[in-house]
Structure 1
Amino acid sequence: MAHILDVEETLAKLSLNGKIKLLAGNGWWHTHAVPEADVPPMRMSDGPNGVRGLRFFNGVPASCFPSSTGLGSSFDVDLALQVGKALGDEARAKSCHILLAPTVNTQRSPLGGRGFESFSEDPVVNGNIAAAYINGVQSKGVAATIKHYVANDQEFQRFSISSDMSERALREIYLKPFQIALRDSDPWALMTAANETRLQEWGYKGMTMSDWIGVYSTSESISAGLDLEMPGPTVMRGKAVERALAGEKLFLSDVDNRVRKILELIQRAQASGVPFNGPEEGVDTPELRQLLRTAASDAIVLLKNEKKILPLSSQSGLKRIAVIGPNAKQAFTSGGGSARLLSTYTVSPLEGITAAAKELGAEISYTIGATSHKYLPEASPFIKSSHGGKPALLEFWNESPNSTFLNTTPSFSEQLTPCAWSTPTANTNIFLADGVDTSKVKEVCWIRYSTIFVPDEDGDWEFGLNIAGNGNLFLDGKLVIDLSTSPEQGENFFAMGTVDLKAVVKGLKAGEEHNLEIRLSNEEFVARGCPLPCHGGLRLGAFCKTESEEALKKAVQVAKDSDVAIVVVGLNHEWESEGYDRPDLELPGLMNRLVSEVLRVNPKTVVVNQSGTPVSMPWVNEAPTLVQAFYGGNELGNGLADVLFGKVNPSGKLALTFPKRLADTPSYPSYGPHGQEYGKILYNEGIFVGYRSYEIRDLAPLFAFGYGLSYTTFEYSGVETSAVSEDGHFSVSFTVKNTGSVTGREAAQVYISDPQCSLPRPVKELKGFTKVTLKAGEAKKVQVNLNRDALSFYDERQMSWVAEAGKFDVFVAASSDDVRLSAQVELTKSFTWKGL
């Protein structure tokens, strides 16, 4: 058996320099090794919907699972467990000891750029799905990292903003999912948020790390219990710790306490058998592909099916199916930012629907109808070359390779000096935070990206470019885009890149080859003070221009000529991403008009919306059929087709409320740039987040929390409750019957109301749920076990949880606005407690 360190012996053996070294990361994804004390370096990787591995750039492909809002909307803790296990297996294959997931921040606003990364607006769904996910990951000997602790729910000024709320709201809404997950899964690592909210403690025994560049103090962060500063090299520790020790701002015992937690996790990593500094490999098995497909279909929510258009079947007599929309042809597997990865493979909605239609003998007609991109679609499908089998080549120099390199009119005949290093790539979206040989390439560098551009359509082509640095785009030696002279800052590359500039090149012919070259330097980018180690980056987009009215007109005609139209609209990783929040709830471009016009000409239209969080749907009353798909991972297309064509009976229910308009959302007056006051965001809605707010205001949402339809129907009956024990435990049991003609799964929800509380409380609150599978005509009695959390509130006067004696209403519901059964329980004696 491999050597497993003894924590106390190793701590005693470490020099002070060795201890201080361990308090910060080594680069983006590792802790430091201390060879003289036999301490190996741990490896970590981003989730939450996959294991990207060590590289943003030219990384090893990974499986992409549905976004967290999709997994949360499955209301399926067993599925979350299986997904966690699969992620644990892939982490092991990539020699990864720590998965930086799951994200369990309560979704305060649908505008949050990273909203898709969290499971729910409700702490019970959030915490229970997270606990199952964590248990799955850690069953494979890989540490899960619960994050971001706490109130990290907007991207606007996230490195500096102070999240200010009442202690009650903090405890009941924002800390509660962490509390549930810590109690039920014991995550081995925890990541703090990059804001000013203080760290809470429940006697947590695991290792605590910062979010990337989320440490702003030395002695204070160490004293507060933050073990590891990430990423490296250190900014707030290192020599600063020596100075704090000398001034007795810190003591050696403080340092030892932090190092001890890091060594304990290393000990666990050694026991798991995951190699240190091991290879990165992918995982691709039939079982994994089936799990990806199951997860994709289970993450789908059927919102409307008024004319029973779905499921599409051979009995429907379908001969022609129109597939329309910008989210149909491209597989948008996840949101953007650190959650995005290079998928091992993808299945687009168009591909999945086409394969399913073929089984019915139906013909597919596709047209885009309208565009959804924030930036032009990535140009990767249109580039080719022979650079080591990859379509493009990146070359790096440590000084300008000739006198005109960054000019808008360079001398292409002038010889370039030999480059310091080069690498082939298949990407046109390149973030050089890693993947560069730093032994050959200095921090400040000059870069050339060269390839062959081959359009697939005749016409005028639009190019879009944004870069982390300064540079220019040339096609056949002619300047197309100038970003070399003081370009404005934009949102891409974690808000460190330039604006995206577009230009049109007219009259390109399909199949003709064109030399494409991007020349850039990161010199000014580095000089501005990049908070993360990075050699720059570029994002190249290309799209054959289509007149908007012509595209709409064509889509309407295709829909009119078809038996059924499937319109796939929504957002993508450019609209929902780490680094920035959404400005509004609208679908971009002409998508709303596209949906309305298709509905006008074809009454058998299925609208599929794909987004991580809610969008406005001005056409919803005209749409007889509506499906919410979220971001479905690798198997998005097959999972969607399985639901549309009836291979899978949809069973998802919304884990977040869909509002009718932005002004209805609870956080509307105090969110983002318009809600901040002097660097603070005031959480004015208090505990009334999500459905709690809509119910207390008697305000109808577009679609309620917990809502979702099936191809069958369910009947609830026979609710019973047990007596409440002195410490608050009781159970709720009831019978669910499938009254339809096909097998289905129902997510039944239990809500509690406290009408006698001494403080204001929500109308009702979700306190438990269960998912039951039933054959046609089958009935099952199910039981939901609850504890003191179901009866309690947080009392700021006592700084403790309080369960007050009295009668509580119990509601068994199909959704927050569809109560099927009710009962009462009684707590005979009040009690209080603190901690978990």
Structure 2
Amino acid sequence: MLVPTSPRTPPSPGAADLDVDAVLAKLTTQEKISLLSGIDFWHTAAVPRLGIPSIRLSDGPNGVRGTRFFNSVPSSCLPCGTAIGATFDKALAREVGHLLGDEARAKGAHVVLGPTINIQRLALGGRGFESFSEDPALSGGLAAQYCAGLDDKGIAATPKHFVCNDMEHERMAVDVLVTKRALHEIYLTPFRLALAAGHVPAIMTSYSKVNGTHASESEYLLKEVLRGSWGFDGLVMSDWFGTYSTSEAVNAGLDLEMPGAARFRGAILNHALNANKVSIRAVNDRVRNVLKLVKRAMATGIPENAPEDELNRPEDRQLLRRMAADAVVLLKNEDSILPFVPTKSVAVIGPTSRIATYCGGGSASLNPYEAVTPWEGVEAQAKVPLSFAQGVYGHQMLPLLGKSMRNENGEVGFTLRMYNDPPTGPSTPSSPDTRPLLETRHVVDANMFFIDYSHPLMNKNGVWYADAEGTFTPTESSLYDFGLAVQGTARLYVDGELLIENVENQRLGTSFLGSGTVEETGSKTLVAGQTYRILVQWGCAKTSSLKVGNMVDFGHGGMRIGACRRLSPADGIAEAVEVAKTVDQVVLCVGLGGEWETEGEDRTTMALPPNTDDLVKAVLAANPNTVVVVQSGTPVSLPWLSNAKAVLQAWYGGNQTGHGIADVVFGTVNPAGKLPLTYPLRVEDHPAHFNYRSEAGRCLYGEDVYVGYRYFDRAGIEPVFPFGHGLSYTTFTLEGLTIEKTEGNNVNVSLTVTNTGSVTGSCTVQLYVSPPTWEPRQVPVVPQRPTQELRSFEKVHDLAAGVSTQITLVLDAVRDTSYWDETQDRWCSQQGVYGIKVGQSSRDDKAVGGSLTINETTYWEGLSP
């Protein structure tokens, strides 16, 4: 398939003036060393006398944040990685890159830190939502187009995390023990496929050790595989605070330590040079790669330290909505109850119905231009007024209060005031705060992470304070719970009454990437319509005596303010049941979110939040004409599945989450998403279940190459939903398979796709290769291999009812029949007859098949044969 491209952004005039080798020769040793680490969280060092500018890097992977965690400039938030994986759409992945490229330009960023292409070994990974799939071919195929899309816009992609950064538990210290075969076949393959496409100028290393050595200082990974066998000549950077040595990392090939200021370079690297632990040649090699990336960045025309702007174009909103809808997977649709009829009565029920669950937590999260809730999406398309019931809550910490508050001008949000001096108590009209004010800001997001906050008049010792103040007017009289989690210290007051004190005897929790406290809570009965003054007085991280034990320094700290009306599960479920009985159709929204799936912490269970399953069972019993919409980045348990007629897996859908869900619910979009992950009945069904945490500082990848569907197929375990599964409002047939060898190693696998249903729809065609079957005593015997492996996929878009089309999937006869031969330490395509299966899922019983004969055994190395 030829993926559509857009014209590459032309180079800036004069950008080619940077002669890398000539400039390298003019640099002093100290200037060279300065270039090998960042100067802050997001920028590299400059050498003005030689015309070397500072360049800006920014998170991805699902949106470009810019340079600020706190009060950042809004951005386009894309659907999460697994959502993009669920599209199985290479052309869409390229469009993702184009949008990210334009967003990067708006944010003044030359380099995007993404895509994340690690492998989801298990459904519990805290960052599983960031990655595309459990399958390396799907991950690598999409990553290649994502990177190419950024390259079309002149922006550098940075696939991450190289390699085996597949869980969060003790992620900076754990030693991943993995066979070379699994390492190459499963975990390195997405990176290899992305690099083979030729649009990857930078790579980010993982936090973990791999077979005894941290990835950022592994000569095997960086020198032997990446730069040696694969011939990669781009830049290798550390993950943030993922550099652990000086000499070892420089000698292995780690070019850039991030973030700055340097911890392992600077004066320490100068000392290592003088001690001959690092050669000047090694330093020159590292600097050369930095300069090449700088030269590439200069060609974008993005100026040094550019201002950060919003983009938010109408065409981008349309693309984000299409992406959100295209990612939705129709898991089940008994009696064809979907799509719903917009003129019939509808209730929207559930914990995530009025919350925009648009992304997971951690460094992938960002401030979106907008975040459309499922309620808003359904309301926009329904032709009758909606009914609503909360049912139960699904939060881990209390919902953020910011959007429910008002500042002194009546604007949504609250006022944040910064000071050098500590408070003496809550201010009142009769006793105003007289501390000298650093600055005042209007803030809406009540989850404030001050990593990158600075002020020229701040105390030189970095100790400072902030007051967050606004009003809250409840719409219902009830008991309200308030919550306060901090990295630092804080007190929360309601109308001058101290409700929460999070200062002494603090308890370490998961907030602020594991550097903050648990959420301390307090409650107060509030009267509907009455306005209450909310005040939080906060002190920075240095005011806390809490021992974190985290290797990462998150600077100033942060505070998180939450609140909601107290709701007993029994009362909430009873109300939801009564509402469900009164309508023709129910959209029941459940799932996880950025608190449950987040960087720094793995889940301990596949279960939905407490009381959710009870709500689903009760609503399904009250109204069978219910679609359950599940939002999560990885699989969750569905104990009520047999009672549900319709289930959608909607992931985290980005800015347009609610519209994307509603488009599928009402049939504006015919669902075409496919599961990029196997949906198991129980977490125990995964072979990685026994080896998914750091124990004694190591984690054994005991499932070897049998990751995801590879294990379920080999072990004969029936999943709830197989890899590649996804229904449609129409039906398709595949027939007329032909297999033809063409020039070189190319093999064309052609077939006819027919829409046999009544509406237009898109069909994802998946090609699996099975290993040869050997007769007894025949030598050599191929080692045990997965029953089948995805090797190619194509998406047929918008095929009209009754229409047929022919498609061709292209295989590389050598590459796509190969396994990693540990006796030869290279790839091997073994002589034999391989099975070819083309279907609409990994377990499609109507798949069409054939065979491919490989006449001779071939060994090979590198990115491709």
TM-score of the pair, normalised by structure 2: 0.92
Q: For 1:254, what is the secondary structure of its paired residue?
A: helix
Residue aligning to 1:164: 177
Cα distance in 2, alignment partners of residues 401 and 514 from structure 1: 17
Residue aligning to 1:790: 816
Cα distance in 2, alignment partners of residues 622 and 533 from structure 1: 46
Cα distance in 1, alignment partners of residues 815 and 498 from structure 2: 64
Kept after mapping to 2: 8 A contact 1:150/1:175: yes
Correspondent of 2:451 among 430, 433, 443: 433
Distance 1:196 1:410, change over 3 A: farther
Residue aligning to 1:807: 833
Kept after mapping to 1: 8 A contact 2:402/2:414: no
Unaligned runs of 5+ in 2: 1-12, 211-217, 775-780
What does the per-residue CA deviation read over 1:523-543, in whole Å, with 9 as the maximum and x for residues that have no partner? 245885762242110000010
Cα distance in 1, alignment partners of residues 758 and 592 from structure 2: 35
Q: For 2:586, what is the secondary structure of its paired residue?
A: strand
Residue aligning to 1:63: 76
Cα distance in 2, alignment partners of residues 330 and 53 from structure 1: 25
Q: For 1:479, what is the secondary structure of its paired residue?
A: strand
Q: Please state how far the C-alpha of 1:435 moved relative to its aligned partner.
A: 3.2
Correspondent of 1:541 among 562, 573, 591: 562
Structure 1 residues 491-502: aligned runs within 5 Å: 491-502=510-521
What does the per-residue CA deviation read over 1:180-199, in whole Å, with 9 as the maximum and x for residues that have no partner? 01101431111000111233
Residue aligning to 1:606: 627
Kept after mapping to 1: 8 A contact 2:325/2:663: yes
Cα distance in 2, alignment partners of residues 24 and 633 from structure 1: 32
Q: For 1:635, what is the secondary structure of its paired residue?
A: helix
Correspondent of 2:273 among 226, 245, 256: 245
Aligned-partner residue type, residue 373 of structure 1: H
Q: Please state how far the C-alpha of 1:729 moved relative to its aligned partner.
A: 3.0
Cα distance in 2, alignment partners of residues 62 and 545 from structure 1: 33
Q: Please state how far the C-alpha of 1:471 moved relative to its aligned partner.
A: 2.1
Aligned-partner residue type, residue 388 of structure 2: Y
Cα distance in 2, alignment partners of residues 658 and 308 from structure 1: 22
Q: Please state how far the C-alpha of 1:422 moved relative to its aligned partner.
A: 4.1
Q: For 2:299, what is the secondary structure of its paired residue?
A: helix
Q: Please state how far the C-alpha of 1:625 moved relative to its aligned partner.
A: 0.6
Q: Please state how far the C-alpha of 1:472 moved relative to its aligned partner.
A: 1.5
Kept after mapping to 2: 8 A contact 1:446/1:522: no
Q: Please state how far the C-alpha of 1:17 moved relative to its aligned partner.
A: 1.0
Residue aligning to 2:861: 834
Residue aligning to 2:507: 488
Kept after mapping to 1: 8 A contact 2:438/2:457: no
Correspondent of 2:783 among 735, 747, 759: 759
Distance 1:391 1:357, change over 3 A: closer
Aligned-partner residue type, residue 286 of structure 1: P
Cα distance in 1, alignment partners of residues 648 and 663 from structure 2: 13
Q: Please state how far the C-alpha of 1:438 moved relative to its aligned partner.
A: 5.2
Cα distance in 2, alignment partners of residues 387 and 265 from structure 1: 47
Aligned-partner residue type, residue 113 of structure 2: L
Distance 1:734 1:642, change over 3 A: same
Cα distance in 2, alignment partners of residues 89 and 743 from structure 1: 32
Residue 744 (str. 1) matches residue 761 (str. 2): yes
Cα distance in 1, alignment partners of residues 659 and 729 from structure 2: 18
Residue aligning to 2:149: 136
Cα distance in 2, alignment partners of residues 354 and 669 from structure 1: 45
Cα distance in 1, alignment partners of residues 259 and 545 from structure 2: 17
Cα distance in 1, alignment partners of residues 371 and 490 from structure 2: 32
Cα distance in 2, alignment partners of residues 203 and 621 from structure 1: 52
Residue aligning to 2:735: 717
Residue 823 (str. 1) matches residue 843 (str. 2): no
Cα distance in 1, alignment partners of residues 459 and 756 from structure 2: 67
What does the per-residue CA deviation read over 1:598-634, in whole Å, with 9 as the maximum and x for residues that have no partner? 1111121111111110000000011011111001111
Q: Please state how far the C-alpha of 1:120 moved relative to its aligned partner.
A: 0.3
Q: For 1:818, what is the secondary structure of its paired residue?
A: coil
Q: Please state how far the C-alpha of 1:393 moved relative to its aligned partner.
A: 3.0
Correspondent of 1:35 among 42, 48, 71: 48
RMSD: 1.9
Aligned-partner residue type, residue 138 of structure 1: D
Q: For 1:329, what is the secondary structure of its paired residue?
A: coil
Distance 1:475 1:374, change over 3 A: same
Cα distance in 2, alignment partners of residues 415 and 743 from structure 1: 65
Kept after mapping to 2: 8 A contact 1:30/1:44: yes
Cα distance in 1, alignment partners of residues 564 and 116 from structure 2: 34
Q: Please state how far the C-alpha of 1:170 moved relative to its aligned partner.
A: 0.3
Kept after mapping to 2: 8 A contact 1:390/1:424: no
How many residue pairs align between the two structures? Answer: 822
Residue aligning to 1:523: 542
Residue aligning to 1:571: 592
Aligned-partner residue type, residue 743 of structure 1: T
Cα distance in 1, alignment partners of residues 148 and 852 from structure 2: 32
Stretch moving more, 379-388 or 640-649: 379-388
Correspondent of 1:344 among 369, 374, 394: 369
Aligned-partner residue type, residue 330 of structure 1: I
Structure 1 residues 16-415: aligned runs within 5 Å: 16-197=29-210, 198=218, 199=221, 200-201=225-226, 202-313=230-341, 318-358=343-383, 362-386=384-408, 391-402=413-424, 413=431
Q: For 2:158, what is the secondary structure of its paired residue?
A: strand
Q: Please state how far the C-alpha of 1:447 moved relative to its aligned partner.
A: 2.7
What does the per-residue CA deviation read over 1:38-75, in whole Å, with 9 as the maximum and x for residues that have no partner? 11010111111111111111111001111110110000
Kept after mapping to 2: 8 A contact 1:719/1:823: yes
Distance 1:136 1:439, change over 3 A: farther
Cα distance in 1, alignment partners of residues 14 and 638 from structure 2: 58
Kept after mapping to 1: 8 A contact 2:492/2:534: no
Q: Percent identity?
A: 43
Q: For 2:306, what is the secondary structure of its paired residue?
A: coil
Residue aligning to 1:772: 796
Q: For 1:257, what is the secondary structure of its paired residue?
A: helix
Aligned-partner residue type, residue 744 of structure 1: G
Kept after mapping to 2: 8 A contact 1:396/1:441: no
Unaligned runs of 5+ in 1: none
Q: Please state how far the C-alpha of 1:296 moved relative to its aligned partner.
A: 0.6
Cα distance in 1, alignment partners of residues 564 and 423 from structure 2: 31
Q: For 1:747, what is the secondary structure of its paired residue?
A: strand
Stretch moving more, 516-525 or 817-826: 516-525
Stretch moving more, 53-62 or 532-541: 532-541
Kept after mapping to 2: 8 A contact 1:94/1:282: yes
What does the per-residue CA deviation read over 1:653-694, in whole Å, with 9 as the maximum and x for residues that have no partner? 00001110110012000102xxx3320000000000000000
Cα distance in 2, alignment partners of residues 228 and 521 from structure 1: 30
Cα distance in 2, alignment partners of residues 355 and 387 from structure 1: 30
Cα distance in 1, alignment partners of residues 751 and 54 from structure 2: 52
Aligned-partner residue type, residue 38 of structure 2: G
Q: Please state how far the C-alpha of 1:476 moved relative to its aligned partner.
A: 1.7
Distance 1:459 1:777, change over 3 A: same
Aligned-partner residue type, residue 239 of structure 1: A
Q: For 2:296, what is the secondary structure of its paired residue?
A: helix
Aligned-partner residue type, residue 80 of structure 2: S
Kept after mapping to 2: 8 A contact 1:305/1:624: yes
Cα distance in 2, alignment partners of residues 522 and 113 from structure 1: 25
Aligned-partner residue type, residue 593 of structure 2: N
What does the per-residue CA deviation read over 1:198-236, in whole Å, with 9 as the maximum and x for residues that have no partner? 334121111110000000000110111100000011111
Cα distance in 2, alignment partners of residues 643 and 527 from structure 1: 47
Aligned-partner residue type, residue 551 of structure 1: G
Q: For 2:352, what is the secondary structure of its paired residue?
A: helix
Kept after mapping to 1: 8 A contact 2:423/2:537: no
Cα distance in 2, alignment partners of residues 387 and 563 from structure 1: 43
Distance 1:525 1:97, change over 3 A: farther
Kept after mapping to 1: 8 A contact 2:484/2:520: yes
Cα distance in 2, alignment partners of residues 736 and 347 from structure 1: 35
Residue 616 (str. 1) matches residue 641 (str. 2): no
